[in-house]
Amino acid sequence: MSAAVAAPPSGWRAVESPFHASELAAQERAGVRERMNVDARRGIRDYMPEQHRLFFAEQPFMVLGGVDEKGQPWATLRVGAPGFISTPDERTLRIGGRSLAGDPLASTWQVGSISGGLGIQPATRRRNRVNGIITAIDDQAITVAVSQSFGNCAKYIQSRTPIEFNVEESQESPVVSSRLNDDDHALLARADTFFVASANTSSDAGMGRGADVSHRGGKPGFIRIDDDRTLTTPDFSGNLFFNTIGNLMHDPRAGLLVIDFDSGDLLYLAVDAEIIWEGQELESFDGAERLIRWHVREVRRTRRALPLRWSGVQYAPQLVKTGSWKTAEATPLAANTWRTLKVSDVRDEAPGVRSFYLQAADGSTLPAFEPGQFLPVRLHVPGLAAPLIRTYTLSDAPNGRHYRITVKREGAASTWLHENVEAGTEIEAKLPGGAFVLDRTSGRAIVLVSAGIGITPMVAMLNSLLADKSELTQPERIHFIHGARRSNDHPFVDPLRNAEQTHSRLSVHLRDSQADPGHDTHPRSSVGRVDIAYLKSVLPFGDYDFYLCGPGSFMQDMYSGLRSLNIADDRIRFEAFGPASVKRTESASNTVATPVSPRDPERSSKVVFMRTHRDAQWSPEDGSLLDFAEANGVVVASNCRSGVCGTCATRVLSGEVTYPVPCEAEVPPGHALICSAIPAKLGLGEESAVVLDV
């Protein structure tokens, strides 16, 4: 222990250090021990200053840390009307209120118990800490003799305000498990805050003995879900006291508390901590000075336990300088690497439509994706000389635990999936890809229009919008419009209608192109096609972003109809996935052709399709070589049409091609992915010609 330093009267007045040996060791490793021997003695007191006492009295809740009868630390909450926390004097803290349903420490507080307290006011990003020993328990109130009191900086605290108190509170018993379930994964994936309790109960800890509870904040997703029993979080630069890290170095047991600020759910985790001080893995999160891996031993979840509801969130400005988990670290696989996934569940959504839930076979975290993107899969079908490669749209929002693809039975691959794949089946997949994604920045109302199996990316987009609690601009309204042949052909009907009942900004319109005599008065849909006339009948006058997905003729009709209504081209987005291709127009009205011919030899290139004995002049208006081939009656195998799956790889017999947008798939030597390639040279002469082996 370093030599004692004389402290000013307002700081730490004891000769003995306020830190125990492991805290000092952590400070030493971080290179701040000598500095903290001075700075901490100025900031840590053995009494509460007046501003802390006033601050505690203003709060409607307090975060507490303690240990149960087995020595397991837990972070928990007490709530009450402001004033439920009082300070009879500068060394006494009285916490009234009540324990919440499912509180793991509710029955363990007793005189002599160690306690850590955190008063936090998210709206102003203020927080103050207080630690001590319980000296009395009466009328459910806990009285604490204060041993340490100090303030913390505002770093990483998200600003939100309690807007409703004493809402209906559940008295349900907690659901207890040894693993994280899907709901837990979803909460952790969107969480921007958690609290961690740790302790050093050793008699050798001196004046550093006690329990501690600390705040941790980051961008949604900063809690990385490695598997059902493992989490990893970045540890950012803080007050440099290293109370939590020091306690974990002494005893790796900790208790995490994650709050669902919308529902009031409380998720308690009993964990063992592994501190990652250095190494390549540390580079996986920009701004992290360390990583902490949390090994989960017990999960306790209590529904609607917190009788507070909160305003929207404003993120801490410090988060701008922090990164996010890099995909390359979450999964070391490259975009063109096939990875084994295991089917965890199979569910029927409609006649001939089935959802497959996929998890990493090795239990690791699945890479993130944008709703609207697709998953390339490779199926090894017995009897076929080569595997079937297909791309299926991901049909649910990212949740960190599984992918969901929803497949209509049509064709060899989808038929094989429907007939042979069940829970436990393994298939191969690459990283998700595709450019059909939401623009989350415009703030305009969103219209999701689909037909048939085109509903899949729309459901993923919708679920993502409804679950999104981040700072990204939320649309004022969401209109979900889907057309199917008959009323029982609509997938996801119940979830869609339930979402409409739950979210006031969502309206759902389901349409049947054919009347079903047995369901003439079906309350869930109306009869008729989804066309421009129908859109005009259900959409109020407003400013919209449109997203389209469905059969090619459907999308072309919708696109052309919207353009005829003077909807700007950049406000119409569509899934150009599969054989369908929509031709865009520069303006909504018909325009006079420009004097320059689109087949001007100076700005075109000759393309020869060798096997089919055809050739034609390509110009930039023709799009990709795949589009050009199809326009000239040349059939080429293709699938993703965005350079991800590699299905369209075609041998280039002569000439050069280029890629306006880089491809993710590996291009075989001497070949081109013609869904993304165009001729590299324009102009007269054989040097500009491209000869393809099709």
Q: What is the DSSP letter of 110?
A: -
Tokens of 154: 């505002």
Q: What is the mean pLDDT of residues 36-56?
A: 85
CA-CA distances (angstroms) from residue 315 to 156, 333, 493?
A: 8, 32, 35
Phi then psi for 373, rounded to 5 degrees? -80, 170
**pLDDT at residue 548, as a whole number:** 93
Q: Which residues of 119-142 are buried (b: 16+ CB within 10 A; e: fewer)?
A: bbbbeebbbbbbbbbbeeeeeebb
CA-CA distances (angstroms) from residue 579 to 379, 630, 640?
A: 20, 9, 9
* CATH number for the domain that contains residue 610: 3.10.20.30
478 vs 321, which has greater pLDDT?
Answer: 478
Q: How confident is the model at residue 535 (pLDDT cuts 50, 70, 90)?
A: very high
511 vs 174: CA distance, rounded Å: 42
CA-CA distances (angstroms) from residue 657 to 651, 652, 665, 680, 689?
A: 11, 9, 16, 4, 10
Q: What is the mean pLDDT of residues 165-174?
A: 73
Domain boundary among 429, 455, 471: 429
Residue 17's closest CA among 30, 1, 35? 1
Domain boundary among 539, 574, 609: 574
What are the residues whose beta carbons fall under 8 Å from the beta carbon of 650, sequence distance 6 or more?
625, 636, 671, 672, 673, 674, 692, 693, 694
279 vs 21, which has greater pLDDT?
Answer: 21
Q: Where are the alpha helices (DSSP H) in 300-356?
A: 327-330
**pLDDT at residue 334, as a whole number:** 46
What are the residues whose beta carbons fall under 8 Å from the beta carbon of 554, sequence distance 6 or more?
451, 452, 454, 483, 530, 548
pLDDT(591) > 80: no
* CATH number for the domain that contains residue 355: 2.40.30.10
Range with lowest mean pLDDT among 79-88, 112-121, 271-280, 360-369: 360-369
Residue 395 lies in a domain: yes
From the DSSP assignment, how many helices (H) and strands (E) are in the chain?
Answer: 12, 37
Q: Containing domain of residue 454, as a range?
A: 446-574
Domain boundary among 379, 395, 429: 429
Residue 187 lies in a domain: yes
Q: How confident is the model at residue 4 (pLDDT cuts 50, 70, 90)?
A: very low
* CATH number for the domain that contains residue 470: 3.40.50.80
386 vs 581, which has greater pLDDT?
Answer: 386
Q: What is the mean pLDDT of residues 155-179?
A: 82
Same domain, residue pair 339 and 315: no
437 vs 440: CA distance, rounded Å: 9
Number of domains in the chain: 4
Residue 190's closest CA among 61, 359, 368, 456? 368
Q: What is the mean pLDDT of residues 279-288?
A: 80
Q: What is the mean pLDDT of residues 248-275?
A: 94
379 Cα distance to chain centroid: 28
Same domain, residue pair 306 and 163: yes
Residue 308 lies in a domain: yes
79 vs 249: CA distance, rounded Å: 31
Residue 525 lies in a domain: yes
Same domain, residue pair 272 and 352: no
Residue 585 lies in a domain: no
**pLDDT at residue 136, as a whole number:** 94
Residue 125's closest CA among 309, 313, 303, 379? 313
169 vs 307: CA distance, rounded Å: 6
Same domain, residue pair 247 and 346: no
What are the residues whose beta carbons fall under 8 Å from the beta carbon of 265, sequence distance 6 or more?
187, 259, 301, 302, 303, 304, 305, 306
660 vs 358, which has greater pLDDT?
Answer: 358
Residue 482's closest CA among 534, 435, 442? 534
Helices 21-30, 243-250: inter-axial angle, 10-degree rounding:
120
Same domain, residue pair 390 and 486: no
Q: Name the one residue in this structure whose structure tokens are 């749209």.
A: 393
Question: Structure pTM?
Answer: 0.51
**pLDDT at residue 168, as a whole number:** 66
Same domain, residue pair 264 and 203: yes
Same domain, residue pair 537 and 452: yes
* CATH number for the domain that contains residue 211: 2.30.110.10
Q: What is the mean pLDDT of residues 14-43?
A: 84
**pLDDT at residue 589, as a whole number:** 42
When the pLDDT of each residue in the chain is averaged and rounded to a whole number, the result is: 85
What are the residues whose beta carbons fall under 8 Å from the beta carbon of 368, sequence distance 6 or more?
221, 327, 330, 398, 400
pLDDT digits (tens, 9 = 90+) for 224-242: 998 889 999 999 887 788 9
Range with lowest mean pLDDT among 137-151, 249-263, 563-577: 563-577
Same domain, residue pair 274 and 360: no
Same domain, residue pair 470 and 555: yes
Q: How confident is the model at residue 94 (pLDDT cuts 50, 70, 90)?
A: very high
Other C-beta atoms lying within 10 Å of the C-beta of residue 396: 21
Q: What is the mean pLDDT of residues 129-157?
A: 90
Residues 134 and 109 sit within 8 Å (Cβ to Cβ): yes
**pLDDT at residue 293, as a whole number:** 94
pLDDT(579) > 60: no
pLDDT(641) > 90: no
pLDDT digits (tens, 9 = 90+) for 472-512: 557 889 999 999 988 888 999 999 999 999 898 999 999 99
528 vs 95: CA distance, rounded Å: 63
C-alpha neighbours within 13 Å on the C-beta side of residue 651: 5
Residue 626 lies in a domain: yes
Same domain, residue pair 291 and 185: yes
Q: Name the one residue in this structure whose structure tokens are 């149960």.
A: 68
21 vs 2: CA distance, rounded Å: 11
Tell me how far apart the terminal alpha carbons of the chain are, to the nearest angstrom: 78
629 vs 634: CA distance, rounded Å: 5
Residue 90 lies in a domain: yes
Q: What is the mean pLDDT of residues 311-339?
A: 68
pLDDT digits (tens, 9 = 90+) for 407-417: 999 888 899 99
pLDDT(584) > 70: no
Range with lowest mean pLDDT among 138-152, 164-178, 605-619: 164-178
pLDDT(327) > 60: no
Same domain, residue pair 562 and 533: yes
pLDDT digits (tens, 9 = 90+) for 461-470: 999 888 876 5
Same domain, residue pair 312 and 421: no
As a whole-number percent, the residues of the chain with pLDDT over 90 amount to 47
pLDDT digits (tens, 9 = 90+) for 372-401: 888 889 888 888 877 888 889 999 988 777
Q: Name the one residue in this structure whose structure tokens are 């000598």.
A: 34
**pLDDT at residue 499, as a whole number:** 92
Residue 594 lies in a domain: no
Q: What is the DSSP letter of 173?
A: P
**Which region, left, alpha or beta, applies to residue 206 given φ > 0 means left and ψ of -120 to 50 means alpha?**
left
What are the residues whose beta carbons fall under 8 Å from the beta carbon of 471, sequence distance 6 or more?
313, 314, 315
